[in-house]
Amino acid sequence: MTTALSSLVDLKHRFRTSRARIHKILKRKPLWACQPGVLQIDTTNRRCPLNCVFCNPQHNFIDSSGDLPLSTIEHVASELKRNGIFINYARPWMNTDPTVENRLPEICAILKKHLGCRIDLFTNGVLFKKRHMLVDENVDDIRFTISAANADLYNEVHGRPLFSEAVKTINWVKNNKLRHHRMWVNFILFEKNAHDLHNWQEMFADFKQDIRVLHYGEDRLTSSNVAQGSEDLLSTYRKGLINKLIAQERPCTCFENMAISYNGKFMQCCDISYEHNWGHVEEIDIQEAINKRLDVGLNHEGCKGCVQKNPHWKELFEEHVWS
């Protein structure tokens, strides 16, 4: 893609993001204090081909599996539209991998048709045979999660010896993506791989990079994993995560997300178990459920003990929602 075209694509994304800022000025409240701006749908929770040591959903609460009917996906999208809810972007398949969903093109088309939102795919890219799905025309951002720069460490972090498959797929996508597609490579940073960050940055220098400090599931990881000499780096990124929440006046990492489980439940948060939900989307009034979720905020049972909160989250709710 030429530089001019990629700047135009970036501009389009920036314009959507500025709608959230305009909302804040007009309503004098951040978007999250009125409605969710991000839609996460687990249209399926078939097990993902990897076994990442940090993966919360696959280890902690995906114990049953199924597919969400297309009619339910259509219902959610059309209800959001009918209620005038601005969805900035959709991130389907947060709790598994998009490449295990054979209906991906139909699902992206439904989301685009009703919501006009940006669609982000997060993928491990290890199913090389499914690579064509990633360059779907309705997808905007393709984000690979590759949290190591060599095969041995990849095996330790992601649980399967598929580093070369992931690299093969990312290179194929680079050469075969459509002009509007933006590509990212994500690194989930934690004790086990912090020492490899620099190599990873060099190895994937051709891509936009997103380094995300591991923010849940740490209880599964023992202190013996600590990478010698990486403590400062880790603590900088961890503080950075909290400082970003404070600076952006967000209550936690996920409150702005509306998460739908594979069995149709409007979940409190996609990072916690399915039992914490506001009912089946076809049996509830979605707007009413959004209002109830705002009333409860992070006092919800499922949010107890979560470490992804802004230390000032209560003040934010008092100022923008509860007053």
Ligand X SMILES: C[S@@+](CC[C@H](N)C(=O)[O-])C[C@H]1O[C@@H](n2cnc3c(N)ncnc32)[C@H](O)[C@@H]1O
Q: Which residues bind ligand X (CB under 6 A)?
A: 48, 54-57, 93-95, 97, 122-124, 145, 186, 188, 212, 214-217
**Region from 37-45, 164-172, 196-204, 296-304 binding ligand SF4, contact rule CB under 6 A:** 296-304
Q: By C-alpha distance, which of 52, 48, 47 is closest to 153?
A: 52
Q: What is the DSSP annotation of 229-261?
A: T-HHHHHHHHHHHHHHHHHTT-SBSSTTEEEE-
Q: Which is nearer to ligand X, 81 or 184 (CB)?
A: 184
Q: Which is nearer to ligand SF4, 125 or 264 (CB)?
A: 125
Query: What character string, x for contact with ligand SF4 (CB under 6 A) and - otherwise, covers 298-317?
Result: x---xx--x-xx--------
Determine contact, residues 274/261, Cβ cutoff 8 Å.
Answer: yes
Q: Can you name the residues that pair with 252 across neighbouring β-strands?
A: 309
- Beta strands (DSSP E) in the chain are 38-41, 89-90, 118-123, 141-145, 182-189, 208-213, 257-260, 265-267, 277-280
Residues 6 or more apart from 183 whose CB is under 8 A from it? Answer: 141, 142, 143, 144, 170, 173, 174, 177, 207, 208
214 touches, from ligand X, ligand SF4, none (C-beta below 5 to 8 Å by class): ligand X
How many Cα atoms are found within 13 Å in the side-chain-facing hemisphere of 81?
A: 14
Q: Which is nearer to ligand SF4, 111 or 316 (CB)?
A: 316
Shortest Å distance, C-beta 282 to ligand X: 25
Count residues binding ligand SF4 (CB under 6 A): 23
- By CB under 6 A, is residue 53 in contact with ligand SF4? no
Number of C-beta neighbours around residue 60 at 10 A: 15
Q: Which is nearer to ligand X, 34 or 42 (CB)?
A: 42
Number of C-beta neighbours around residue 259 at 10 A: 24
- By CB under 6 A, is residue 214 in contact with ligand SF4? no
Q: Which of 40, 44, 45, 58 forms a contact with ligand SF4 (CB under 6 A)?
A: 58
What span, in angstroms and rounded, lies between the C-alpha atoms of 51 and 54? 9
What is the distance in angstroms between the CA of the first residue and the CA of the last residue of the chain? 49
Shortest Å distance, C-beta 309 to ligand X: 15
What span, in angstroms and rounded, lies between the C-alpha atoms of 165 and 173? 12
271 touches, from ligand X, ligand SF4, none (C-beta below 5 to 8 Å by class): ligand SF4
Determine contact, residues 114/75, Cβ cutoff 8 Å.
Answer: no
- By CB under 6 A, is residue 124 in contact with ligand SF4? yes
- By CB under 6 A, is residue 252 in contact with ligand SF4? yes
274 touches, from ligand X, ligand SF4, none (C-beta below 5 to 8 Å by class): none
Q: Which is nearer to ligand SF4, 58 or 261 (CB)?
A: 58
- By CB under 6 A, is residue 55 in contact with ligand SF4? yes
Number of C-beta neighbours around residue 89 at 10 A: 19
Q: Which is nearer to ligand SF4, 117 or 259 (CB)?
A: 259
Give the residue closest to ligand X by C-beta.
145
- By CB under 6 A, is residue 271 in contact with ligand SF4? yes
